[in-house]
Copies of this chain bind each other. A is one copy, B any other.
Amino acid sequence: MITIREALEPDYEAIWPMIRDVFRAGETYAVDPRISKEAARSYWMGQAAKTFVAVTDAGIVGTYYIKTNQPGGGAHICNCGYVVDPRAQGQGVARQMCEHSQDAARALGYRAMQFNFVLASNAGAVGLWHRLGFETIGTIPDAFDHPRLGVVDAFVMHKRLVP
């Protein structure tokens, strides 16, 4: 049973170890792997329209943010980032967070959701986003220097949230 709720400031103590491990690995997010705890807080919670956590009996097992992807004339499209605790993988947390984020984004007035930088090597994410209705609208060649795989492409993915 997964509950998703808005993140509160103290939740960052549980959020940080999850996003830290993902950022330090440097395999999925275009973030400096040496990012500090405070800079990561700003990235995950400071620029966001809203940040959420996914909670089970085991505690906080996932987190995501929604933010405006481009200001000004582009402000009707949002961007989200999701991280799942490795110990909770395979339980549908990412799927549930992405579905939740689409409803949350609509409630915030966004008309579409865009992922700017989905690594081609991140097959699990690419497949899940496709199954959830996102289209690949662009491919950035040699976009990311993956620590194990070398240079990989990144996809721009997009889904309309309203007709």
Contacts and interface: CB of A to CB of B under 8 A. Distances in A.
A95 interface: no
A73 B137 contact: no
A29 interface: yes
A157 B151 CA distance: 19
A81 interface: no
Contact of A138 (B30, B71, B137): B137
Given A138-B156, A156-B138, A143 B32 contact: no
B158 A156 contact: no
B143 A33 contact: no
A56 interface: no
Contact of A71 (B27, B31, B72, B158): B31
**A interface, size bucket:** 35 or more
26 contacts: A23-B72, A26-B73, A30-B70, A30-B71, A30-B74, A30-B75, A31-B72, A32-B72, A70-B144, A73-B144, A73-B145, A73-B146, A73-B147, A75-B145, A76-B145, A111-B142, A112-B141, A114-B140, A116-B116, A137-B138, A138-B138, A138-B140, A138-B156, A140-B158, A141-B158, A156-B156
Interface of A: 23, 26-27, 29-33, 70-77, 111-112, 114, 116-117, 137-147, 154, 156, 158, 160
